[in-house]
Amino acid sequence: MGRWRQGVRDAVRYVPQGDSIPNESWQARHRNILVFLVTHAPLLYLLGNFTGSDPYVTGATLTAAPAEHVLLGVGAVVGLALFAWLPWLPRRMRSGFASIGLLTCSALLVYFSGGYIEAHFHFFVIVAVLANEVKSLADETQNHSAAIEQTITETVEDVARVQAEMEQTKAQLETGESTTTDAAEAFAAVSEIVESVDMSVNEVATATDDGARTTEEVVDAIIGIADHSRDIAEQSDALASQAESRVATISEIREQLDELRGQTGGLQEELETFDCEVPSDD
């Protein structure tokens, strides 16, 4: 029993699903097959009720089939065409009904013609029609396979390009590692120098405030210079931290270093313009 079920599953699995063709293409082809199928119904009805000789093509003598056979056969063709037309059925079922309907037409044609040998060629015509449908499905599948292969190739190329860029970035990071470390050490040294300047300015401000309290403008200027030096020290510390953590890029570090040099130069100019005289003990 299990082998029988497995055999049925395998047979169903190898039956074409009919869902690889785009819906618009399938609808157009299926509509043409339905028209071809429905056209057989009146022709088969006339042939089944005809008695006499064919004076145009074969010259064969035909005998009308029983009426119930004609009605049953033509009714089966119409019913299969109707089921193949129902839009809510799956495409696989609709294709199956249309195929069975065309094969039924071939069998009825042979029967109504009295087994005329030329009538058997209709079967090969129907097989060709159905084979063309299968060939179209194979062509569509081949096109989709080619598109999938191209997509996979492009994806592989993208991955290879990303890997190359990652290797290049890694090399750049390794090259800039020493530069970043040197910049961090330089920033730390600048920070220490600015902090010492800050302490010196505070000492000058304290001495000036104690010795000459009337010169408030001088004291305010010194305090402003001290605040300026603190900002520079904080900025240099931030740059040193960024360099140590490798968060900032080399170009950003260089830009901030230039800005720091400019601010330090401004601080130096302000200190040079300031002249503090310590009062004597007299």
pLDDT band at 118 (very low <50, low <70, confident <90, very high): confident
| Structure-model confidence comparison of residues 264 and 100, the more confident one | 100
Q: How many Å apart are CA 235 and CA 258, to the nearest integer? A: 12
CA atoms within 13 A on the CB side of 210: 9
CA atoms within 13 A on the CB side of 5: 2
pLDDT at site 124: 82
Closest by alpha carbon to 202, among 178, 228, 180, 182?
228
pLDDT at site 79: 92
User: What are 122-135's pLDDT values in tens digits?
Assistant: 888 888 777 765 65
What's at 158, amino acid-wise?
A: D
User: What are 119-166's pLDDT values in tens digits?
Assistant: 777 888 888 777 765 655 556 566 666 666 666 666 666 656 655 665
User: What are 80-89's pLDDT values in tens digits?
Assistant: 999 989 988 8
Q: How many Å apart are CA 249 and CA 85, to the nearest integer? A: 68
pLDDT band at 193 (very low <50, low <70, confident <90, very high): low
pLDDT at site 214: 44
Report the chain's mean pLDDT, rounded to a whole number: 68
**Residue 266 above 70 pLDDT?**
no
pLDDT at site 205: 54
User: What contacts 271, CB < 8 A, 6 or more positions away?
Assistant: 197, 201, 225
Handedness of CA 191, 195, 200, 204 (dihedral sign): positive
What percent of the chain has a predicted confidence (pLDDT) above 90? 3
Q: How many Å apart are CA 97 and CA 82, to the nearest integer? A: 9
Q: How many Å apart are CA 103 and CA 40, to the nearest integer? A: 11
pLDDT at site 82: 92
**Residue 212 above 50 pLDDT?**
no
- Across 8-18, average pLDDT: 62
8 A C-beta contact, residue 219 and residue 268: no
- Across 72-92, average pLDDT: 88
Burial 186-200 (b: 16+ CB within 10 A, else e): bbbebbeebbebbee
pLDDT band at 49 (very low <50, low <70, confident <90, very high): confident
Predicted TM-score of the model (pTM): 0.41
* Domain extents in the chain: 2-140, 168-273
